[in-house]
Structure 1
Amino acid sequence: MTGSPQIPYLLRAARGEVLDRPPVWMMRQAGRYMKAYRDLREKYPSFRERSEIPEVAIEVSLQPWRAFKPDGVILFSDIVTPLPGMGIDMDIAEGKGPIIDPPIRSKEQVDRLHPLEPEESLPFIKPILKALREEVKNEAAVLGFVGAPWTLAAYAVEGKGSKTYSIIKGMAFSEPAMLHKLLEKLSDSIATYVRYQIDCGAQVVQMFDSWAGQLSPQDYETFALPYQKRVIQQVKQTHPDTPLILLVSGSAGLLERMAQAGPDIINVDWTVDMADARKRLGPDMKVQGNLDPGVLYGSQDFIRDRILDTIRKAGNRGHILNLGHGVLPNTPEENVAFFFETAKNADKLLATA
């Protein structure tokens, strides 16, 4: 085994070190499946309260750290959090997700948007990330995260979650110049926000393009990829050593295109076999994933087998174990604990398997 133990384990994987086991964290690891979170939600019913009052967001972010000791502790927030700082009003409805009112539908609205000034509009980010770094020290990496331009544009234009994406696709295919202007503005503000999170203490940042998998490959190349790349290039100019993870939901057909955006790590969801993903992306691209969150409804034997299968296929270099997407709300908490325990003992389990 190589490397320095004082460097967080997740960062060692991001650097491409050969490791005995992969580092492990879990998307949405703070949330509704945990009793501690549900208890806190009763006291603070608004998502924005929970994510924007520093002491509450710190507590929520640390709940899984105290319970499971993952190798990554992620800021508790939402991808739409920076939008008000650009002039896009939003709220987050419990159980329904972000609501943008009024949605962005005209050139005049796009023209009125202004660059994000995170120090002013997101004053809670710095104390949260600073506290997380102080709490976990080098025992885990602190992750920040942002939404990608296409996905934030989709929320802003649709006004809420969508099954058809018909409004933003209508804009893309009938008024592309207006959408490209919106995507440019979002890209530059997201890049500012990523850099700010790093300056405040984030050691890794993940960009979620949750809705880009709804695009055809050619439309992904037109409306998603160039703007992912724009964000990543701007961040790398000032923070070249901070690992950036790119996630696209439903990305089976897009892996090679995702790599063109320039991330350090690609999140692989469960629609791709990890061995296939490794072949397609090549030996130099690091990967994260890719357990189906539904596996955590299975028996412990089943969960263990799937974890070990993924680790075998990913190999011992450049892999961060995670779900392919977020943990589901009614997942048994003891199965989450078992997931982490198994992952942390993977080297011993593989040696005896």
Structure 2
Amino acid sequence: MACACSTLGLSSPRILPRSVPVSPSRSKPLQVRCTVGELVMEPKVSSVDAPLLLKAVNGEKIERPPVWLMRQAGRYMQSYRTLCEKYTSFRERSENLDLVVEISLQPWKVFKPDGVILFSDILTPLSGMNIPFDIVKGKGPIIHNPLREAADVDQVRDFVPEESVPYVGEALRILRAEVNNEAAVLGFVGAPFTLASYVVEGGSSKHFSKIKNLAFSQPKVLHALLAKFADSMARYIGYQADSGAQAVQIFDSWATELSPVDFEEFSLPYLKQIVDQVRQSHPSLPLILYASGSGGLLERFRLTGVDVVSLDWTVDMAEGRRRLGPEVAVQGNVDPGVLFGSKEFITARIMDTVAKAGSHKHILNLGHGIVVGTPEENVAHFFEVAKGIRY
């Protein structure tokens, strides 16, 4: 049976009042009480020493929600900013083995999250697919030769990660050894439509007019590009898993720019293709799907076959759980802006999210990445409160 959780001692099962603070020196864990809810699927069984995050995905009974944060390795940490002063190029930081490992481990050494994610970028595979790009400070991704014709797509090569990004595999192997199963090592890839958006638009976009022009005027050209990305990203996921990743998150950042009917044509089939291909080679590898602003597409996300859907903060967690159904694990979904609030406020929002998510198949996270300027002490408090929860 699933559990609909409420914070201990509260008459309402939903909201933890702001008047219930958590002291950093609190000796007792925060309690979460559960009541019987809907039937859920029989849980898979992980090994006894499996990381907490994997146990949550598999539906095992655990004592607290696992927790990690998107963009947890990055701009809010002083140690990262100091490193950036020496290594000013993002691509250098994300494509140099020693730097990738160091940056990936920075939050692990300070906060001990339950997930340690590879420091990289969803565009990293592009060079290996004959799509030159750069990431320019203040401008973001720049695609030097945008793809807009059938001849352009014909020049796109299949991605062979062993040849193009061997440092990714080596970094994951090092991370597994360093973390030593105390947390799950996470890899990630970009989804086909999101990657296509960058390479067709030539970089970031506000209106996505160029890729929609291609989609609606030359759909066969776009489908050919999406198919290449789907096959290559499925192969990339397998490579990451073989190198040590214990779960992989798929970012379809721009899928929510599509109407539901267009999502069903230009994103959903290719997400399903990735999942199906990975299931054939790595049937037990957990796959997580995230897209910001995805409230209108949740039911369609479920159709992809992923194990976990990561909710952004614009979706109520309890509503999201109902819409996704009990067989899908959920991740999220605290507003990143909450980390600018008081410690009492942060605590209240964490408890509200956990209460609505329940004690079954939930990974605590933000609804998006950490915002630049977030106080590190508030991040520390977020992890401290999360780890102090007991169902």
Shorter-normalised TM-score: what interval?
Answer: over 0.9
Question: Alignment partner for residue 47 of structure 1, among 90, 97, 100?
Answer: 90
Give yes or no for the alignment of 1:278 onto 2:321: yes
Give structure 2 stretches of 5+ with no counterpart. 1-44
Listed as ranges, the matches of 1:215-230 within 5 Å are: 215-230=258-273
Which deviates further from its counterpart, 172-181 or 3-12?
3-12
Give yes or no for the alignment of 1:345 onto 2:357: no
Rounded to whole Å, the distance in 2 between the matches of 1:29 and 1:260 is: 29
Higher relative contact order (CA 8 A, sep 6+): 2
Question: Alignment partner for residue 367 of structure 2, among 312, 324, 328?
Answer: 324
1:38 counterpart residue number: 81
Question: Alignment partner for residue 6 of structure 1, among 49, 56, 68?
Answer: 49
Rounded to whole Å, the distance in 2 between the matches of 1:68 and 1:272 is: 27
Rounded to whole Å, the distance in 1 between the matches of 2:362 and 2:80 is: 29
Listed as ranges, the matches of 1:133-282 within 5 Å are: 133-282=176-325
- Runs of 4+ residues over 4 Å off in structure 1: 2-5
Rounded to whole Å, the distance in 1 between the matches of 2:378 and 2:257 is: 31
Compute the displacement of 1:20 (Å): 1.6
Compute the displacement of 1:96 (Å): 2.7
2:7 counterpart residue number: none
- Asked if 1 retains the 8 angstrom alpha-carbon contact of 2:231 and 2:274, the reply is yes
Q: Give the AA of the match of 1:129.
A: L
SS at match of 1:99: strand
* TM-score between both structures, scaled by the size of structure 2: 0.87
Compute the displacement of 1:341 (Å): 0.6
Shift in alpha-carbon separation, 1:3–1:241, aligned structure 2, 3 A: closer
Compute the displacement of 1:112 (Å): 1.2
SS at match of 1:253: helix
Compute the displacement of 1:257 (Å): 0.1
Q: Give the AA of the match of 2:288.
A: I
Rounded to whole Å, the distance in 1 between the matches of 2:353 and 2:232 is: 36
Rounded to whole Å, the distance in 2 between the matches of 1:20 and 1:306 is: 19
Q: Number of paired residues?
A: 347
Rounded to whole Å, the distance in 1 between the matches of 2:176 and 2:305 is: 27
SS at match of 1:173: helix
Q: For each residue in 1:2-31, what CA deviation from the matched residue of structure 2 results, as whole angstroms up to 9, or x when unmatched?
A: 975511111100111122211000000011
Compute the displacement of 1:98 (Å): 1.4
Q: For each residue in 1:198-244, what CA deviation from the matched residue of structure 2 results, as whole angstroms up to 9, or x when unmatched?
A: 01100000000000011110011010111111111111110000000
Q: Give the AA of the match of 2:381.
A: F
Q: For each residue in 1:170-197, what CA deviation from the matched residue of structure 2 results, as whole angstroms up to 9, or x when unmatched?
A: 1111111100000001110111101000
SS at match of 1:222: helix
Counting helix residues as a fraction of each chain, which structure ranks higher?
A: 1
SS at match of 2:116: strand
Compute the displacement of 1:92 (Å): 1.1
Shift in alpha-carbon separation, 1:31–1:232, aligned structure 2, 3 A: same
Rounded to whole Å, the distance in 2 between the matches of 1:237 and 1:5 is: 25
2:336 counterpart residue number: 293
Rounded to whole Å, the distance in 1 between the matches of 2:245 and 2:359 is: 25
Rounded to whole Å, the distance in 2 between the matches of 1:155 and 1:226 is: 19
2:145 counterpart residue number: 102
Percent identity, please: 61
Which one has a bigger Cα radius of gyration? 2
Q: For each residue in 1:141-187, what CA deviation from the matched residue of structure 2 results, as whole angstroms up to 9, or x when unmatched?
A: 00000000000000000011111001001111111110000000111
Compute the displacement of 1:255 (Å): 0.4
Give yes or no for the alignment of 1:131 onto 2:131: no
2:69 counterpart residue number: 26
SS at match of 2:320: helix
1:67 counterpart residue number: 110
Shift in alpha-carbon separation, 1:172–1:103, aligned structure 2, 3 A: same
Q: Give the AA of the match of 2:194.
A: T
Compute the displacement of 1:346 (Å): 1.4
SS at match of 2:63: coil
- Root-mean-square deviation over aligned CA pairs: 1.1
Shift in alpha-carbon separation, 1:320–1:301, aligned structure 2, 3 A: same
2:354 counterpart residue number: 311
Q: For each residue in 1:96-116, what CA deviation from the matched residue of structure 2 results, as whole angstroms up to 9, or x when unmatched?
A: 321111111111010111111
SS at match of 2:310: strand
- Asked if 1 retains the 8 angstrom alpha-carbon contact of 2:46 and 2:58, the reply is no
SS at match of 1:25: coil
Q: Give the AA of the match of 1:112.
A: Q
Shift in alpha-carbon separation, 1:183–1:20, aligned structure 2, 3 A: same
Give yes or no for the alignment of 1:81 onto 2:124: yes
Q: Give the AA of the match of 2:92.
A: E
